[in-house]
Structures are given as structure tokens and as C-alpha cells.
Structure 1
Amino acid sequence: MQTEYTILDWSTIIESVKTGEQGFSSTKEIRINDMKYRIIDYSPGYLADHWCEKGHIVFVLEGTLISELSDGSSSILNKGMGYVVSDYLSSHRSRTDIGAKLLIIDTIE
């Protein structure tokens, strides 16, 4: 099925909540064709419970995100910043000290 034009009404999507290694995340997700669009809120002190190798487009809507790479490096991303990573080219995970709200776009596995 092709979608020429779709309104994304985030107010109608029920949040799912997941605990991290520390803190929690709440996610609203919309799937269209083979794409996944998510708004994710990370609580202050959040640390992901896994390393991710999936490709994403990530945009910080609010707060500050610290993106850690498995090689020990990290990037600090503030509101208005983001990153792009391809599938299986880096292991990364998210954390935040003050909380963050993200828009993440990726393909459905």
C-alpha cells in the first residue's frame, strides 16, 4: 500500500512505557508502510538498557541527549540537533541527565 499523504496525529496515539537500565522512556509510535515514526520521552537520568545497531534518523525536540558509542566516544545533542546512523555501522545507546524528547525515524525490522 502506498501512502501519498498521511496526517500524524500524535495526540491519538497511546504511549507505551519501558524501563531502561536507569529511568524510563515513554514512546508513541506510528507505522506506515515499511517506516516507523516515534516520539520518545526519556526521563531525567535515563540510560538505555541495550546497545542498538539499528539505523535511525534522530532529532532532539526538547532537552539534551547524550549518544554513546560502543568505542567509548559520545556526543551531546541539544534541542534542534540530531544524528543519522546506518544499520549495523555502529553500536550506540542513549542517555540523558535532564530528560529529552526525540523524534526517531527508521525502517521496520
Structure 2
Amino acid sequence: MSNIPFQAINWDKIERTEHKGETGTAYWQTIQLELDGLRIRKVIYSEGYLADHWCQKGHIVHCLEGNFISEIETGEYNKNT
């Protein structure tokens, strides 16, 4: 297991990209670390956003504002507030 390098991130300097979902839009700001392909991403979801795909990777989520529901392909879900 590698250590994640601690650092401050100036999100104002990170490009924002737009990603349409099945409904709504997600706005991503992503940094790529040289650590085993680790990405850190700040995401803003529009109200009613529903992804148009199932992600096969694991995620660690920290909700900064509002709430959301994470659903996995089997139909299980976690409500995050």
C-alpha cells in the first residue's frame, strides 16, 4: 500500500469539464496523482443527475454540501447526506 501525498489543492486552477448524464449534468475537476493511477475529483451534480453508466472502480466519497444517493449495479444503494 502506498501513502497518499498530502497537499493543498487550489481548485480555482483546475479545469472544469462537463459530463452529461442520463439526466442532468456533472461538472468535474480532476487531478491525477502519480500514485497507482489515483485521481482526486471534485464533482458538482445538477439536481436530478443520473449517471449514464455503471462505474467498475471503487470510490471514496466526501459530500461537501447537499446529499446524494449512490446506487450500485445490483440495485443496492447508500444515501449520503
For Structure 1 versus Structure 2, the TM-score category normalised by the shorter chain is 0.7 to 0.9
1:8-31 CA-partner distances (Å, limit 9, x unpaired)? 111111100010000000000111
5+ residue gaps, structure 1: 79-109
Give the structure-2-normalised TM-score: 0.83
Partner of 1:82: none
The Cα shift of 1:55 comes to: 1.1
5+ residue gaps, structure 2: none
1:43-72 CA-partner distances (Å, limit 9, x unpaired)? 001000101110111111111111112222
Partner of 1:56: 59
Report matched runs for 1:1-109 at 5 Å: 6-34=7-35, 35-78=38-81
1:55/1:5 CA distance change after superposition, 3 Å: closer
The structure whose residues are more often strand, as a share, is: 1
Q: Which has the higher contact order (CA 8 A, sep 6+)?
A: 1
Q: How many residues align?
A: 76
Determine the C-alpha separation between the residues in 1 that align with 2:67 and 2:5: 33
Determine the C-alpha separation between the residues in 2 that align with 1:72 and 1:57: 19
Give the structure-1-normalised TM-score: 0.63
Determine the C-alpha separation between the residues in 2 that align with 1:42 and 1:67: 12
Identity of aligned residues (%): 38
